[in-house]
Each structure stands twice: as C-alpha cells, then as structure tokens.
Structure 1
C-alpha cells in the first residue's frame, strides 16, 4: 500500500500569509483526511499561536528576512539562507514531503530552495497584487503558480483567488443578517456601515468615522465600528433613544457575522480583506495603507474597477468624504444592491478548493513519476 501523501505548507510571519495557508490545509483535509500536512514557520511569527490552535503540525526553521534596500544586513543573507535551507531539507526528509506549497514571506524562500534541491515539486500562491521577492523567485522554480488578483505580474500565474476560511467562503449574508445584527445590538432593518482597520484598528478610519457619527446616525445609518483593542480612547456619545445605533467594539471575533450584519464596509485593503469582502459580496470603501509599495491600492483596484467598491486615499478620508460619498450610497438600497452584485462577481469563494485541487494534482503527478 502506498503511504498517504505528505504536503508541506510554508506561510509563516503575518496573518496575511498564515490564514490562506490554514484555509488551504482545511480544504486538503476535507478531500483526504489521511493526508499528512506539515506547516513551516519561525519562532518570531504569529504561526506559533495560530497553527497549533488549528490542529496542524508546526516545524520551526530560521527566518530569512530580505532587506528592501542595500544595507550591511544584506551581507548576512547568504549565510542565513544556507542555515534555513539545511533546516528545511531536514524537515522535508523527515516527513517524506511530496509537495511544498509556499505563500511568500520569511519562510517561503528557504522552503523553495530546499524543495528544489530535494527534487520535490513546488506550488506557489501569491496573495498580493504586487508579488514579493520570495514568490518571484519561487515562481521560477514551481510546477504551478496561483495568484489572488487577475493581472498579478508573476511568472505563469493562474488566477485562482484567495483561500478563505469556510465560515467566510460559505457565508450567506442575507440569511444571517437578522441574527448577525441582533448579535451586535443593531436594528434589524437599518442600513449598516461596518468600520474596521484590521486587528489593531486604524487611526485614520477611527477619526473619520467618529467625526461623521452624528451625520450617519441622523440619516438613519447604523454603524458597527471595530476601533482596535489599544484604541479605547476612541468613543462616541450615546445616541438618543430611537435613533440609529453606533456600536463600538475593540475587536471582532466573528468577522462572518460582522460581514452578514453590514451593507457596506469602510476598511483598509489588505489582500485577505479584499478577498473576503468580494467573496461574500459586501461592497466597501477601501482606504489603502499610505505606506509600503502601494500593494494595498493594487489589491483593491480589481474590485473597484468591477463596480464593487470605492477607493479613497488615506489623506482624503474625513467626515466630509463620508458625508458626501457613503451616506448617499447607504441610503439608496438600489445602488447598494448594485455594488453588492458587482463585488460578488469579482469574488472567488471556493479558491481554497481550487488551490487544493492544484496541490493534490501536482503531488499525485510527482508520485507517479518517481
């Protein structure tokens, strides 16, 4: 009898790498519960908490941060790569890996190089519209390359979408709306704006939304606003009896219910956020992070150009912009419905299953050729 397939997933570092990695792991398990899944990470990443909590085996390797600019630290990269590749090869040998799937970040580059040297096929998944260095290298070595956004400039990239948690990918917003609004203390029938800036909140979004609170609720729009656990200074006076609620929370544990409760989101445009919103058909006003290489703007553009959202630069977002652009939209049910249809058309809710099919196909082909 042939042993079960062994899949190694390399996606440590940030939640943007880890969440799609775990969503893929879940999809693979649904197809083949006996298959072995091993996750690679480093001791400094969020994977030390998130991966074991989801029931996956985590192996730690030395991180290989790649400097964005030529500095003295660049001279130390080759030695770091050698040590990380050696540690990764030992893991691949121990678990008898049939395929390595990389999601970019500190862990991916040594995983790609170790797999290449061991003759193990590689699958690359790129979350952002602008690929990082690790995945640009990995794409040249890979059997298959999957991308989240159409037009991503990556060698042989196939538009597959972003692997998402089942709770998000299978969410029926309309059927969960009343339940979700009740969970957050919102009215069942009012138009609802969801404001969030990631797990830590976002100062620009917090400031603009709070400043527009009176205008929003006076127009009959209720708000669910996740300010971030460190932003307890962000407050809104209690609304008068009978007016639209403005609900402030530190953090949203159930994003599926938050999406179901909302008609429109005001948020950053990280790759996972954009993919989740479009997958569930929730239109958004995207506010790209004003630092970095512009990838957040690129992430949002396909949805915005499809008519599923708006784009506002961080410097332009204030209470006046919300009053001029979001209040008229939130109080126009037909316009909102149109944006929702276009957002859903741009989404791929089954990307986890699509990527699982690619990975298992590559692993099976490699197995028959050995």
Structure 2
C-alpha cells in the first residue's frame, strides 16, 4: 500500500522474537496483501528480536514495544510478569488507537501477550495462531480472549482451536521439487542424479547433527549418497575432506539463504523438528529424519509426530543420533527409490500448502464483523 492511499482495513500482527513466530506472521501479511492491497499491515515487535531485521526487509511497518518474557511453566517468575506487562500493554494500546486497528493477530511469544491484553482493553477483536503442538503461555491466555483460534497441528489443546496449518512463504508453498531439482543441485555444486541428503540444524546449526553427519561421511560416500550440509555460521570447525574425483560431493555451507532450492535438491533431510521446519518439509513432500531438540518442553517431538505417524518421516532422539545410525537407517532409505518415494508421498499428504490463505480468510472475516 502506497503512502496516502485509502485504507480498507487495519491489521496488526504480533509475532516477534523468533523465526518460528515471524515467518508465519509475514506469510499471513503477504496473503492479506494479495487479497487487498489497501489493507494496512503493521507488525509489533521488540528491539531485541529478529523482527528488527526480517520485518523491514519484507517491506512491512514495524512498531516496537517493551518485551514481556514469559516463563514456559507457572513458576515464581510468573509473579513478576504483571509489572512487566503493564507498560507494554499501555504502549500497545496507544499503537492500536493510532492505527485504528480492526483486528489483532497474535502468533505467541514476547509480543503477543501485551497485544492480546491491549486489544481486549481497546475492544479490538483478536485472532490467535499457534505454531506448535504444545502451546505457550501467551497463546493459552490469548485463546481465552480470541474471536477465532487457528492451529498448525491437529489436536492442539487450545479453546476453540481450528486446524489450518502453518502459513508459509510462497517460495515454499508453491515449490515443485521435481521441476527445480536439476537447477537446485547445480546451484549447490551437487551431481544431478545421485541420492541427496540435506543436513541442517536451524539458522545456527546443531552440534550433534554436525558430528553425526560428518562422522558418517565415508559410509554415505561409499553408498553413492551426496550431502548438502548447513553447519551454522559459527561452526567453522565442521569440515570434511575434499571428495576424490568421481566420488559423491559433500558440500558444507555456513547457512542456506535459499531453503526452497535446498529442499528441491534433497531426497531426505536430517534436521531438528521446529514447527516451521516440519511444516515446510511436509508441504513440499520432503521426508525427514527428525532429531528433536533435547531441551525444553518436548514440543519438537510433538511437532514431528503427526508426520512420522503418517509414515512421512523418521524420529530419532538426539542421544540416539550417531554416524552408525545414519549408516544403518538413513543410507538404506536413501538408496531405495521406492521406499523413498513412499515416504515423500506420505509426507506431502500430511502437509498443508494453503494455510496462509485459510488464515487470511479467518482474519478478514473477523475484521469485517
């Protein structure tokens, strides 16, 4: 929407902190603008979150409010939350009044709770989207105040939950892996026709995945499997010897800027099980060996279970991941085209490509009331 243009609706999105909150927020923003370029979209965030970089880069207005860190479980720290919330709610109420907000959409995290409470005080309707199978405190509170509640995982325990899936970037949701495979493999210096393993542990990498994959390099190469491995920008000690002429490439990069091409290049992923990762892989039909983060509240395991139980992936505990496990489990799957195709089809059946549009429908319905 260009400056000075008439505004059809004012939508405020609250999803700062981590990529798991920000990416679905921006995917929804894109979907809303595709529907109506007169929609005014404003994102709420904090000065310490990734949103300070990601939101302006996508062309959206970002307003900063004081963060409200929330404990994952009721603890003594919860008693300190009201004092932190008060100032943030007051600042957020001022933003909602300035913007004449028609609806607030929250994705959980530091920004969402004050946004929900401010919206309640300003009588602005709320829509909640929960990415994980195990909801956080902000969204558990928000669901009690919301006009509509959308969730990524079926069976998520939130009041009034509607299963819509995870809003994804169109570069992912429209990806045709087969059509882009040759281009993608060439972009990463991979051979055109070898079975390909993609290894990544999130934006910062994962030490256990790095150790296991590098330790299995010889067995992977002996089976004719090539590897694209994102080690994380700080893990410069992760390296493998240059492949001998004619051997399968093992390509190590710090970070994958083009996840769409990485997914297109791969036949199987070895990765963590963050909500966005699981949703992206299933949407594009790329099976994975999921290695849930071994700390926290177990949400990553819960995220992966629907895809694994549908037959679209494998699940291994972080403590059980080893070079031997990769050699004994991953290599046989990667070298069995029929089995791999079955896993890919079942992963795709468990995914959702249109969650951004479905969530946009809900948001616009609420805004028009």
Query: What is the TM-score with the length of structure 2 in the denominator?
Result: 0.97
What are the ranges of 5 or more consecutive residues in structure 2 without an aligned counterpart?
1-5
Local SS of the residue matching 1:301: helix
Tell me by how many angstroms 1:75 deviates: 3.8
Do 2:72 and 2:136's aligned partners in 1 also have CA atoms closer than 8 Å? no
Q: Which residue of 2 aligns with 1:9?
A: 13
Change in Cα spacing, 1:28 to 1:70, as seen in structure 2 (3 Å) is closer
Matches within 5 A, 1:287-366: 287-365=291-369
The answer to whether structure 1 residue 208 and structure 2 residue 212 are counterparts is: yes
The answer to whether structure 1 residue 241 and structure 2 residue 250 are counterparts is: no
Tell me by how many angstroms 1:264 deviates: 0.1
Do 2:201 and 2:272's aligned partners in 1 also have CA atoms closer than 8 Å? yes
Q: Which residue of 2 aligns with 1:192?
A: 196
Matches within 5 A, 1:70-89: 73-89=77-93
Q: For the residues of structure 2 that align with 1:214 and 1:67, how far apart are their CA atoms?
A: 44
Tell me by how many angstroms 1:72 deviates: 6.0
Q: Which residue of 1 aligns with 2:158?
A: 154
1:217 corresponds to which of 196, 213, 221: 221
Query: What is the TM-score with the length of structure 1 in the denominator?
Result: 0.97
The answer to whether structure 1 residue 103 and structure 2 residue 103 are counterparts is: no
Q: Which residue of 1 aligns with 2:124?
A: 120
Q: Which residue of 2 aligns with 1:65?
A: 69
What is the number of equivalent residue pairs in this alignment? 365
Tell me by how many angstroms 1:188 deviates: 0.5
Q: For the residues of structure 1 that align with 2:358 and 2:176, how far apart are their CA atoms?
A: 20
Q: For the residues of structure 1 that align with 2:79 and 2:330, how far apart are their CA atoms?
A: 50
Summarize deviations over 1:23-69 as a string: whole Å, max 9, x none: 10001011011110000011111111111111111111111112346
Q: Which residue of 1 aligns with 2:134?
A: 130
Tell me by how many angstroms 1:240 deviates: 1.3
Change in Cα spacing, 1:261 to 1:3, as seen in structure 2 (3 Å) is closer
Summarize deviations over 1:153-208 as a string: whole Å, max 9, x none: 11111110001111001000000000000000001110000000001110000000
Change in Cα spacing, 1:319 to 1:18, as seen in structure 2 (3 Å) is same
Tell me by how many angstroms 1:82 deviates: 1.2
Local SS of the residue matching 1:9: strand
Local SS of the residue matching 2:300: helix
Query: Please, which moves more after superposition, 291-300 or 235-244?
Result: 235-244
Q: For the residues of structure 2 that align with 1:190 and 1:315, how far apart are their CA atoms?
A: 29
Q: For the residues of structure 2 that align with 1:69 and 1:126, how far apart are their CA atoms?
A: 17
Tell me by how many angstroms 1:256 deviates: 0.2
Q: For the residues of structure 2 that align with 1:89 and 1:308, how far apart are their CA atoms?
A: 44
Q: For the residues of structure 2 that align with 1:75 and 1:21, how far apart are their CA atoms?
A: 29
Q: Which residue of 2 aligns with 1:230?
A: 234
Q: Which residue of 2 aligns with 1:19?
A: 23
Q: For the residues of structure 1 that align with 2:21 and 2:74, how far apart are their CA atoms?
A: 25
Local SS of the residue matching 2:127: strand
Q: Which residue of 2 aligns with 1:263?
A: 267
What are the ranges of 5 or more consecutive residues in structure 1 without an aligned counterpart?
366-370
1:273 corresponds to which of 268, 272, 277: 277
Deviation >2 Å, runs of 4+:
67-76
The answer to whether structure 1 residue 55 and structure 2 residue 91 are counterparts is: no
RMSD across aligned C-alpha pairs, in angstroms? Answer: 1.3
Q: For the residues of structure 2 that align with 1:157 and 1:95, how far apart are their CA atoms?
A: 28
